[in-house]
Structure 1
Amino acid sequence: MTAASTFTFRASLGDMDPESSAYMALQPPPPATPPTPEMAREGMRRARPFNQPDLPHVAMTREYAVPGKGGTFQVRYYRGVRTFPDEALPVQVYFHGGGWVIGDLDSHDWLCRAVANAANCAVVSVDYRLAPEHRFPAAFDDAVTATQWVAAHATMLNVDPSRISVGGDSAGGNLAATVALALRDDAKVKLRAQILTYPITDLTFTYDQRFEKGVALTNGGMRDFIDHYVPGIAQRRDWRCSPLLAPSLKGLPPALVILAGFDPLYDEGEAYATRLKAEGVAVTVKHFPGQMHGFVSRPKLLPKSLDAIADITAFMAAHS
């Protein structure tokens, strides 16, 4: 049984923005069988030049190795192009999307650069471990560790430890939400904001899942990702992967929730925003009714991504 929807917008395929419709028309038909993780990763790499324009210049980038529970992983550090070298910047710790299975530092390189430049901030992008090679809670553990590492190394990174936010898209939005929960009572890391772009919030499929075809992410594709990351059904109720099911959301940092109309995750994203607000968290919701899942990382073909980045920039400015 699905939960009653509180949707403010119920998308049908005829309502899709022209740019999104044109994008979907260019896509090949889905394969008869689901792609392997390796095939999906290669497909994402090949699609990158078609989805993203040339990389914007930033003041600097640098990669660091971070020791984690499962070994060392990489993070990539950016400083916005209009920032001063001696300025302790606000910083967003960013977790890329890709269903915990695909994506890497390069898949979201353009987006991290764009946010750093637009918000005059630093961004630390996290190359967390992927499933199915590393199942839950590996990605969650790396996300928490990376955020704690940024706070502990604020002087080295020349960022302000009192102005740390977390953000991410899709599976990365899930990680940002769960990191905010994990660090809610951490005296050493006081998050200023959480930016959740079409986040995954409930792995139990409690909420309506409305798209089987015609969109970038389908119900079946989402189930495949979840099966790779959290194969155990009972584990999917753990708040570390299903933040919507956490016992309490009180005391969390202000949240920006960005939702796309053509997305099987819309209902659970809106439900999370609704519950945050009900439990006293300051929430801003931005609806993009004609857009599909993943639009923010496809700026070359879907210009509405720039509007979402402007929303992120404004929210960071108000909470940093």
Structure 2
Amino acid sequence: MKRLLPVLTVGACLMTTPLAAEPIVPTPVEAQAVAFMQQDEAWFIAHLKGPREVSEGHALDPRLQYVLENVTRPAATPAVKAQMRAVYASEAGRKATRAALDRYWATRTAPVEGVLASDRTLPTRSGDMPVRIFVPAALQGVKSAPVLVYYHGGGFMFGSLNAFDPSLRALARDLKMIVVAPGYRLAPEHPYPAAHQDAEDAWKWVAAHAAEFGGDVKRLSLGGDSAGGTLALSVALKQKKATVRPTGLLLYYPGVDRMNSYPSMTELGSGYGLDADSLDYLAAQVYPAGSTPPAEDASPMQADLKGLPATVVVTAGFDPLKDSQRAFADKLSGAGVAVKRLHYPSLIHAFLQTTAYVPDAQKAQTESATLFGQTRK
């Protein structure tokens, strides 16, 4: 990715010359792997190692089951996990692991045309932070467009603007909104509260400077997937009495409750890409011993949800977090929040990074973003 040009600080606003973002381009091998996964589902059904897997009466997408059987589960044995965590303990290991994951996620997400993406920086309490702004073709040149501040997922330890670039372009296109994506700091180099502070600082910057990139300060929303959904909720809960408050929340399979156990974690907490022991490992890296994050930061389920804006919660049938997300949507409703839960029973956690080869994932992304965008006009 090109480096940003020198910046000029003016008051509280960090002015930069925006540069066109350069998304990850698949190598021939990566393109071939995606093409293989785009075969008709009948081929995958015929080549599964076991019977179709079912949860709550619905079958897992056969392409996803094939990947779980042949890629995910063989790499999730205790020995392999221990080896990977040992590698990740070093700076070089983290750099290599993150780079590999960035490429994997980006190249497994459907590419998108017609969205202009530019890189800038913005000031935070801890220094400058990269931000990528996505403007769909229909809004280029518009002076007052709705804006979604969106935080990528990755367990607070993985992910980047490059990794999530294709899915962010898709969101901007289908939402018909400007999408602003902060490149917040990651653990373990930057444990709690680094990401949460960056997330809030990004929101406040957008609220103060939306007009500078064509945004309408009266139509600002928050969103995120997985850990990014947790960040979006954290920011929203802290803005309930602010002058500028989010008008909506778009949450894809968010982390909402670290305090309680749910049946879906027992059923799906091993072998579906988000294992219970991996969540424990992530938590230990993100929240160091002795840290006591408030409910709004770590377990939004335990916070006072009254006063939150209209919310769309998107869940997946083979996500071990689905029961907590269902309970969270119910609690939102009970708190008087207008909430819509969209459930896609054939999918897994992080399905936004499978849209290049899973038709149901592409449908879920398009439907959910289109619905949310229609309510933000």
**Normalised TM-score (structure 1):** 0.90
Counterpart of 2:126 (choices 52, 70, 74) is 70
What is the match of residue 176 of structure 2?
120
**Offset, 1:123:** 0.4
Quote how far apart the aligned CAs of 1:19 are. Answer: 2.5
Q: 1:265 to 1:233 in 2, by over 3 A?
A: farther
Q: Residue 290 of structure 1: SS of its match in structure 2?
A: coil
Equivalent residue for 1:15? Answer: 59
> Out of 276, 279, 283, which is 1:219 matched to?
276
Structure 1 equivalent of residue 25 of structure 2: none
163-172 vs 208-217, which moves further: 208-217
Q: 1:176 is aligned with what amino acid? A: A
The one-letter code sitting in structure 1 at the alignment partner of 2:257 is D
Aligned to 2:8: none
SS in 2 for 1:135: coil
Alpha-carbon contact 2:109-2:352 (below 8 Å) kept: no
Shift of 1:207: 3.2
Give the distance between the partners of 2:57 and 2:282, measured in 1 at CA.
Answer: 24
Q: Which residue of 2 aligns with 1:41?
A: 98
Structure 1 residue 12: deviation in Å? 6.6
Matches within 5 A, 1:1-320: 11=55, 15-28=59-72, 29-30=74-75, 31-33=80-82, 34-35=84-85, 36=88, 38=94, 40-48=97-105, 50-58=107-115, 60-187=116-243, 189-208=244-263, 209-210=265-266, 211-232=268-289, 235=292, 238-246=295-303, 248-309=304-365, 310-320=367-377
Counterpart Cα distance in 1 of 2:376 and 2:202: 21
Q: Which has the larger radius of gyration?
A: 2
- Stretch deviating more after TM superposition (117-126 or 231-240): 231-240
Relative to structure 1, the CA distance from residue 242 to residue 49 in structure 2 (aligned partners, 3 Å threshold; closer, same or farther) is closer
Cα deviation for residue 230 of structure 1 reads 1.1
Alpha-carbon displacement from aligned partner over 1:66-118 (angstroms, at most 9, x marks no partner):
11122111110011022240331111101000000000101110111111112
Q: How many residues align?
A: 308
**Secondary structure at the residue paired with 2:104?**
helix
Q: Residues of 2 paired with 1:179 and 1:53: CA distance?
A: 29
- The one-character-per-residue Cα deviations of 1:240-287 (angstroms, maximum 9, x if unpaired) are 2211111x1111000100111111211221121111110000000011
1:125 deviates by: 0.7
Partners of 1:256 and 1:313 in 2: how far apart? 11
Query: Does the 8 Å CA contact 1:193/1:316 hold for their aligned counterparts?
Result: no
> For each residue in 1:146-175, what CA deviation from the matched residue of structure 2 results, as whole angstroms up to 9, or x when unmatched?
111111111211111111111110000111
**Higher relative contact order (Cα pairs below 8 Å, separated by 6+ residues):** 1
Q: In the alignment, is the contact (CA less than 8 A) between 1:202 and 1:268 conserved in 2?
A: yes
Letter aligned with residue 41 of structure 1: R
Cα distance in structure 2, aligned partners of 1:266 and 1:90? 29
- 1: distance between equivalents of 2:295 and 2:202? 21
8 Å Cα contact 2:227-2:254 kept in structure 1: yes
Between the two proteins, what is the percent identity of the paired residues? 32
Assess if the C-alpha contact under 8 Å between 1:295 and 1:304 holds in 2.
Answer: no
Identify if the C-alpha distance between structure 1 residues 41 and 289 changes in structure 2 by more than 3 Å, giving closer, same or farther. same
Aligned AA for 1:199?
Answer: P
Report the equivalent of 2:7.
none
SS at match of 1:252: coil
Distance 1:142 1:11, change over 3 A: same
SS at match of 1:291: coil
Which letter does structure 2 place at the counterpart of 1:231?
P
Q: Is the 8 A contact 1:154 1:161 kept in 2?
A: yes
Larger % of helix: which?
2
Offset, 1:202: 1.5
Question: In structure 1, what is the Cα distance between the partners aligned to 2:301 and 2:359?
Answer: 30
2: distance between equivalents of 1:239 and 1:54? 34
Q: Distance in 2 between matches of 1:25 and 1:57?
A: 36
Q: Is the 8 A contact 1:23 1:301 kept in 2?
A: no
Within 2, Cα distance between the matches of 1:280 and 1:23? 40
Equivalent residue for 2:26?
none
Change (3 A) 1:266 1:228: same
When residues 70 and 207 of structure 1 are mapped into structure 2, their CA distance, relative to the original with a 3 A threshold, is farther
Question: In structure 1, what is the Cα distance between the partners aligned to 2:323 and 2:58?
Answer: 19
Output the CA distance in 2 between the equivalents of 1:270 and 1:71.
37
Would the aligned equivalents of 1:13 and 1:214 in 2 still touch at CA under 8 Å? no
RMSD of aligned Cα (Å): 2.1
C-alpha change, 1:107 and 1:50, in structure 2 (3 Å) is closer
Kindly state the Cα deviation for residue 32 of structure 1 after the two structures are TM-superposed: 4.1
